[in-house]
Structure 1
Amino acid sequence: MANKQIVFADRLVGLSLQNGLVRMDLAVNAGQVKNKEGKTGQRMEVTTQLVLPLDAFANAVAMQQNALKQVVSRAQQGAGKDKPEAKTEAEAEKPAKAKK
C-alpha cells in the first residue's frame, strides 16, 4: 500500500491532455518579479505534476463543482444571518414600538 502524500499548491498553472491522460502542473509562490513595464507580479514555481486518466479527471471536476456549490450556499446562508433586514423608507421613519 502506498503512503499518502500531501502536496500544497498556490495555483494550477498548467493543464494538458496527452494520450488520454490529463497533466496538471501545480505551483507555489516563489516571490515577486517585475515585468518589462515595471509592474510587480508573482513568480510561480512548478513543484508537482498531477497526472490523471481522463475519466478520473472528469470525476474530480464534478467533485470540485459540488464542493463549490456547497461553499457558495453556505456563504449565502451566512450572509443572510449577518445582515439586518432592509426596511422600506416608510418603515424607517416609523418610531420603534416599546416592548413590555
Structure 2
Amino acid sequence: MNPICGDWRLQMKTPIGTIEADYHFEEHDGVVTGTANGAGEAVALTDLVTRDTPDGPRVTWRQQITRPLRLNLEYDVTITGGTLAGESRAGRLPRTRVTGRRITA
C-alpha cells in the first residue's frame, strides 16, 4: 500500500492565517487518488504522483479551491512516519508551509 493512503489533517500557514483541511488518499489497482475537505467544500486532487526519495516518500498534487479564494494550488510534501511536511504554491503567490499528521491509515 502507498504510504500516503489514509486520512490526513493538513495545516497551511498562509498570509491570511493558518488554514486546516482534511485529506483522504486511496489506491486502486496501483493508482492513487485523493480528495480534500476544507472551508465547506470538497475537491478532487489531480496530477497526484508519489515517489521514493532518500528523505522519504514524496507526494505532489494539484487542486482547485474556491474558498476562501479561488486558487489553483500545487503541493509538494515528504512523508516521515505519521507526519508530512512541505509546501504549497498558488500561482505567483509566495510558497506556503504545509504540515500534516495522519488521522487514520
Q: Fold match, TM over 0.5?
A: no
Q: Higher relative contact order at CA 8 Å, sep ≥6: structure 1 or structure 2?
A: 2
Pick the structure with greater CA Rg: 1
Would you tell me which structure has more strand in proportion to its own residues? Answer: 2
Would you tell me which structure has more helix in proportion to its own residues? Answer: 1
What is the TM-score when the length of structure 1 is the normalising length? 0.30
What is the TM-score when the length of structure 2 is the normalising length? 0.29
